[in-house]
């Protein structure tokens, strides 16, 4: 059986908040017992309090953002349907003219393009436990995302997506060992990849 030393500072920023709160609460008692003078105790209390406050602030804003995103997604489903239904009613009216529809922004248009010329653009952001792969769809409806560890040869297809960003929640290959990941993508027509492969984007993922 193998043993591995785990540092006392939690790896997760979310876990560091409660940990720092505990340090702040108990340092005034335990610190002097183990050689810390009043100046050091105050410094540690301040530092621990700063960590706790900043983590708490981020967690609150994360919840606010999640709530706002959920509300936006609901609006895109419910409120957009109201507008689409109204557009259908107006377009069936005997007095409808395309100019009126264009003024209101309810007239679509046709473009010509060759799928083989389309090349997606990816942008990466690493978070705790995931990598966000943002992409543009241009005139396509879906994309295929590929990834590999930098320095390896084979690309692994990790999924298709129709809305940016693609969320990669795969764990580290070796636990507690940050890795350099490469990503690329290609548009997907529902049956196969089409167009050109994107440029390779690289990011460090710490798990």
Per-residue model confidence as pLDDT tens digits over 108-151: 988 888 888 999 999 999 999 999 999 999 889 999 999 999 99
Q: Are 203 and 131 in contact (CB under 8 A)?
A: yes
38 and 85 part of one domain: yes
C-alpha 183/C-alpha 3 separation (Å) is: 33
172 and 123 part of one domain: yes
64 and 136 part of one domain: no
CB atoms within 10 A of CB 37: 10
Cα–Cα nearest to 145, from 166, 126, 121? 166
Q: In this structure, is residue 185 part of a structural domain? A: yes
Token pair 């473009």 is at which residue? 111
99 and 18 part of one domain: yes
Q: In this structure, is residue 173 part of a structural domain? A: yes
In this predicted structure, what is the pLDDT of residue 2?
A: 56
C-alpha 185/C-alpha 144 separation (Å) is: 5
CB atoms within 10 A of CB 106: 17
Question: What CATH number is attached to the domain comprising 158?
Answer: 2.60.40.10
In this predicted structure, what is the pLDDT of residue 45?
A: 95
Of the residues 73, 108, 143, the one at which a domain ends = 108
15 and 87 part of one domain: yes
149 and 72 part of one domain: no
Report the DSSP beta bridge partners of residue 60: none
In this predicted structure, what is the pLDDT of residue 139?
A: 85
Of the residues 59, 89, 108, the one at which a domain ends = 108
Q: In this structure, is residue 35 part of a structural domain? A: yes
Number of domains in the chain: 2
139 and 196 part of one domain: yes
- Residue 103 belongs to what H/E stretch? helix 98-104
134 and 94 part of one domain: no
Q: Six-digit token pair at 111?
A: 């473009």
Taking every pair of C-alpha atoms in the chain, what is the biggest distance, in angstroms?
88
92 and 170 part of one domain: no
In this predicted structure, what is the pLDDT of residue 1?
A: 64
104 and 120 part of one domain: no
In this predicted structure, what is the pLDDT of residue 191?
A: 93
Question: What is the residue range of 124's domain?
Answer: 116-205
101 and 132 part of one domain: no
Of the residues 59, 92, 108, the one at which a domain ends = 108
Rounded (5°) CA angle 129-131-132: 130
pLDDT lower than 70: segments of the chain: 1-2, 4
In this predicted structure, what is the pLDDT of residue 163?
A: 92
């Amino acid at each position: 059986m193998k043993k591995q030393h785990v540092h006392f500072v939690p790896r997760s920023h979310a876990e560091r908040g409660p940990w720092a709160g505990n340090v702040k609460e108990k340092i005034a008692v335990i610190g002097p017992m183990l050689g810390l003078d009043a100046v050091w105790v105050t410094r540690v209390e301040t530092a621990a309090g700063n960590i706790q406050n900043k983590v708490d602030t981020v967690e609150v804003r994360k919840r606010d953002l999640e709530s706002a995103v959920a509300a936006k997604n609901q609006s895109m489903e419910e409120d957009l349907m109201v507008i689409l239904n109204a557009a259908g009613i107006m377009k069936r009216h005997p007095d409808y003219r395309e100019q009126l529809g264009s003024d209101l922004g309810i007239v679509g248009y046709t473009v010509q393009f060759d799928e083989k010329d389309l090349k997606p653009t990816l942008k990466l952001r690493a978070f705790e436990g995931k990598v966000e792969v943002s992409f543009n769809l241009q005139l396509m409806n879906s994309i295929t995302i590929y990834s590999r560890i930098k320095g390896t040869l084979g690309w692994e297809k990790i999924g298709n997506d129709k809305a940016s960003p693609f969320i990669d929640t795969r764990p580290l290959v070796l636990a507690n060992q940050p890795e350099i990941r490469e990503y690329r993508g290609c548009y997907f027509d529902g049956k196969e990849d089409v167009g050109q492969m994107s440029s390779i984007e690289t990011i460090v993922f710490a798990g």
